[in-house]
Amino acid sequence: MAVFYAIDPLCDADFERLSHICEASATVAHPATRPERQKHPAGSKRPLADRPWDRAIQQLHRSILGEYWTLGLFLEAFMFDRRYLCDDAYGQYRLNSYLCPVLQSVAAILYEQECGGHLEPIEGAKFNSFIYRIHSVRAVDLIPSLFEHMLVIDYGLGIHPLRGGGFWSPVWFMWRDLIPHVKELAKHLCWMVGQCSQGAIPGMDMLDFMGHRLNQIGYSFNMADVGIMLFYYHTHHTELSQQEYFEGFTGYTGVLNELVAEIPTRGPGRLTRKLSVDFYELIPKCVRNVDLRHELRVAVLQLAIEHGIRIRGPEITKDLSNWAA
């Protein structure tokens, strides 16, 4: 006979631990631009789902509890997978390097959905890890170019084709092999988010595969930003012909209009976060051309001024009017 325990995830120690794991990436750099944990006095009862971040972690936590008794058992199952000879040190390495990036990306997308009021599961596709393993190692080279391409479209500066990633990722290779892989990567990540929002954490094989892919990206980027950018790409693009993909286009249509349109009903939270992350993180890291970088940052500040948004960086609030002058 099955025994069911009544667990309030928002008052459980596992919930706090999971929130800390998922937010670790989101607060490494510039915490003012990303969701922060709301502090509660020790021993006090946390108000049920009092913030979008809490509700996002609650969804993820429930999906874990649906397959495992506790968060601890779930983490140990990944750390000490029977396919590997793991001691404590290597188990901790597997957790930090491969599982945490997945949890952080999934939590960031769930958070983005909660902030935007998009409560329906997003569509994605379950994947076969063997199909995409060949070119996935070099797909990390495409991420800066893809994010630059998306930023240019978001801020209305035209539709620039993807640039090459250097000797190991020439333009023709990116067009032919890497764009399809990154499309599938975004699709798979969104499928995992959809599974979690329906209460079913993906299996260990899928978590391990996605962790290896995201781990390579995480050396240069905050995983919360990567997750949300891949979410934007998957949910805001149209299909193109094979020739158009070969020419370096992606079908991305942009997300800023949506974020601006929701201000009257949901407030400027999502737009503030995107402008802040773009200004301080993505534009400096992804845009090589100095003139284009300056043009994008001016566009960010002009949009912030237009909507009365104060962009917060790592230390102080910038005087936007002086910077854009």
- Confidence at 175, pLDDT banded by 50, 70, 90: low
Looking at residue 148, its pLDDT comes to: 92
- C-alpha triplet 267, 273, 275: angle, nearest 5°: 105
Q: Can you give the residue ranges of every domain in the chain?
A: 9-36+49-254
Sign of the Cα pseudo-torsion (69, 73, 74, 77, in order): negative
User: Which pLDDT score is estimated for 292?
Assistant: 94
Q: What is the mean pLDDT of residues 137-150?
A: 78
pLDDT averaged over the chain? 77
- Contact at 8 Å (CB) between 234 and 112? no
pLDDT above 70: percentage of residues in the chain: 69
Q: What single DSSP character describes residue 123?
A: P
The pTM assigned to this predicted structure is 0.83
Nearest to 13 by CA among 51, 36, 42, 53: 42
CB atoms within 10 A of CB 115: 21
How many angstroms separate the first and last alpha carbons of the chain? 71
Amino acid at 20: H
Element containing residue 165 per DSSP (H, E) = none
pLDDT number for residue 128? 52
Exposed (0-12), middle (13-18) or buried (19+): which is 135, by Cβ within 10 Å? middle
Q: Among 102, 57, 108, 56, which Cα is nearest to 217's?
A: 102
